[in-house]
Amino acid sequence: MDRPQDMALLRLRNPIKEVDFFSQNGRQDVTEAGAGVASPKGHEEEEENALARGGASVNTGLYLLTVNSQASQAVVEEEKSKHKFSALRIELNRVRDENRRLRSMLDQLTESYTALHSQLLPAVQQKEHEIYRWQDGKTGVARQGEPSAHQIMEHGPARMRMIHGNSEDGDGEHSSSLNIISSDRGIIPSAETQHSQVDGSSENPNLTQETSSTATPSDLSNRRARVSVRARSDAPMISDGCQWRKYGQKMAKGNPCPRAYYRCTMATGCPVRKQVQRYADDKTVLITTYEGKHNHPLPPAAKAMANTTSAAAAMLLSGSTTSKDSLVASANGFLHPHILYDSTMATLSASTSFPTITLDLTKSANPIQQLLQRAHPTVSPLQMPFPIYGLPQKLPSMVGPQTLQHGPRQQAVVESVTAAITTDPNFTAALTAAITSIMGAPTSSTGAGGSNVPSAGAHMVPGSPQLPKPCTTFSLN
C-alpha cells in the first residue's frame, strides 16, 4: 500500500507541508490532501465516513489514489445517476401536482355544470308550462299529466312508450318513438298514435289538423330514429366500448363497400344494433349507424357514445317532426340549434327509411370554433382561445389566467363557450363522445369473447394518425 510513486505523484500535484505519518495530525493532513487530489467534488462524505471509522486513514487515502481512474469514474457515474434520480423525483412531484390541479379543475367544472344544469331545469319547465298554457288557450285541450319534452328527452323512448299506453317488445325501443315531441309545440302525437292516445287529446280536431300539417316530410318520425357517426378511420370499426356480434353483411346499392350489421352482445336481448359501412366517395370515412337503446348498464367507455346517440336521437325526435326550421325555432331553450345546428347543416334525409341524425367527426373545423365564430364573428381565428384546427387543448375553465389576460373580449368568448357547453347536454355528450372516439376507447370490454374490435385487430389507438379529425359538426341527413 505504501507505494512511493503514488506519494511522489501526490506531492507533485499538491505540494503539501511535511508530514509526520506517525502523529495523529499528520495522518489527518495526508488524508485531507489525498482527498483533495483524488476525490472529485462531493466525495468528501466518503472520506469523512472513513475518518469516522478511524484506523487506517492513511491507507484510505492511498487507496483512493491507487484506484484513482476507476473509482472516480464510478463515482462520477453514481453522481450522474443521483442527479438523474433527483431530477426524476422533481419531475414526478411536478406531474403529481399538475395532476392534482387538473383533477380539482375537473371537479370544479363538474360542479358548475351540475349547478347550471339544475338552474336550467326549472327555467325549461317554466317555459314549457308557458307553452302549454299558450296551447291550452289556443286549442282548449287539457294537457295535465303530460310529461314535459325534457322529461321525454331524459327518459328516451321508454318514456314515450308510457305515453303511448301500449307495450312493445324490446326491439321496438325506437320504433316506439311515435309520439313526436315538438319543442315549440309541446307533444304532438303522430298520425299513427293519435288513435291510441289514452288521454283523448287526439279527439281534438284542431290538434289533429295541426299534427297533419306538421308531420312532414313523409312522417319520418313514424319510423325508427338512428344516429349515424362519421369518422375518418382506417380501422374496420370504430371502438365505442361495447361488444358487438356481426350478424350479416350486405352489398348496398351504390356503394362498392359492403355494409356490416352488428348486434350488441353485452346483454341478452339488447335491442341495439349498428351498421358499419365505408363512405362510397371517401373510403377513409367510416359511417357507423346506431339504432336502439341499450337495456343494460354500460362501461364508462361506452357511455359517452351511448349518451350521444340517445341524446342525438332524442334531439332528432324532438326537432325533426316539422321541418329543419323547427330546429332553429326550438322554443324551450333546451337545444341550441341556432348555434350548432343551423339550417345550413340541418337537412332531413329523404333517401333513408329512418330519420337519421349524423354526427360528423370528419370535418376539420371544430364545433367550439364554429360556435365562437358565430358568437363573435369579429374575433379573428388567431385570437381564439383554442387552435382553430385540431382539438381544443384545454377547456375554457382549464385555460387559466393566461387566457384571461387577453382581455375582456377573450373572457366574453370563454364565457359564451362555457355557457353553451354547460347548458346544452347534447353538446356536452357529443363532445364527450367525440373526444372519446378520438382518444380511443379502452379495449377492456373486448376481453373474453368480446368483439368490439373486429378480428382484423385494427382499432383506434390514442395518438394514432388514423384518428378522425376532431369535429362534431351536427348534420341531419
Residues of the shown chain interacting with DNA in the complex, contacts defined by CB under 7 A = 243-250, 252-254, 259-261, 265, 273, 275, 353-354, 449-451, 454-455
Could you tell me if 426 and 335 are in contact, meaning their C-beta atoms sit under 8 angstroms apart? yes
Could you tell me if 289 and 355 are in contact, meaning their C-beta atoms sit under 8 angstroms apart? no
Nearer to DNA, 166 or 249 (CB): 249
Q: Nearest approach, Cβ of 392 to DNA (angstroms)?
A: 35
Q: Nearest approach, Cβ of 172 to DNA (angstroms)?
A: 11
Q: What is the per-residue burial (b if ≥16 Cβ within 10 Å, else e) of 327-362?
A: bbbbbbebbbbebbbeeebbebbeeeebbbbbbbbb
Q: Nearest approach, Cβ of 329 to DNA (angstroms)?
A: 28
Q: Nearest approach, Cβ of 46 to DNA (angstroms)?
A: 57
Q: Nearest approach, Cβ of 440 to DNA (angstroms)?
A: 19
Nearer to DNA, 53 or 250 (CB): 250
Nearer to DNA, 310 or 426 (CB): 310
Q: Nearest approach, Cβ of 210 to DNA (angstroms)?
A: 23
Nearer to DNA, 60 or 445 (CB): 445
Nearer to DNA, 420 or 476 (CB): 476
- The Cβ-side half-sphere exposure at 287, using a 13 Å CA radius, reads 19
Q: Find, among 351, 340, 347, the residue nearest to 374 by Cα.
A: 340
Q: Find, among 425, 155, 429, the residue nearest to 304 by Cα.
A: 429
Nearer to DNA, 449 or 465 (CB): 449
Nearer to DNA, 289 or 370 (CB): 289
Q: Nearest approach, Cβ of 266 to DNA (angstroms)?
A: 10
The set of cell numbers assigned to 136 is 291550452
